[in-house]
Amino acid sequence: MAAGGYHCQFRIALLGDAAVGKTSLLRRYVAGAPGSCEPEPEPDTAPTVGVEFYSRALQLRTGPRVKLQLWDTAGQERFRCITRSFYRNMVGVLLVFDMTNRKSFEHIPDWYQEVMATQGPDKAVFLLVGHKSDLQSIRCVSAQEAEELATSLGMSFVETSARNNSNVDLAFDTLADAIQQAL
């Protein structure tokens, strides 16, 4: 077992258009439920790629205790200027869109391709996240079409809300379990 009582560390990125709610989702998760996994915010800056990361410990359903290193893109989304070496180091990716913003959904395949272009034989594990599920009355992406896109790209789909704290833990837990199974 590695130092600190963790079996391993999973590097996970949150990607998607600006303002879809990535930072809110991440902060909500890291601030998370008290109990089995203590929140462990470790904001750090890496100016060369314009990102910061947080970390949180997680007890996987399958047993081992892992540390999630969660990378947030800081305003670089607009410019599509995140370096490809950044993606290459990730074992997991949350592809996040805003369910009230159709364009952010339409851009998901672009984000997916951008990451896949960097991948070697050990491919990252993805999860599609439809965020702001609290805004049901103005959503413009149906669960069915999101499911269809997720299936066509070989991933699962989860609807989340940072505002209502809905499925926030589920999204990260689902991805971490899938990463563990792919190891």
Contacts with ligand GDP by CB under 6 A lie at: 18-24, 131-132, 134-135, 161-163
Closest to Mg ion by CB, 8 vs 74, is 74
Question: Closest approach of Cβ 86 to ligand GDP, in Å?
Answer: 16
HEC string of 121-161? CCCCEEEEEEECCCCHHHCCCCHHHHHHHHHHCCCEEEEEE
Rounded distance between C-alpha atoms, residue 8 and residue 23, angstroms = 24
Which of 7, 8, 9, 23 binds Mg ion (CB under 5 A)? It is: 23
Closest to ligand GDP by CB, 109 vs 154, is 109
Pick one of Mg ion, ligand GDP, none as the site partner of residue 9 (Cβ within 5 to 8 A by kind).
none
User: Do residues 2 and 8 lie in contact, with contact meaning Cβ atoms separated by under 8 Å?
Assistant: yes
Q: How many CB atoms lie within 10 A of CB 46?
A: 12
Segment lying near Mg ion (by CB under 5 A), choices 21-29, 83-91, 133-141, 174-182: 21-29
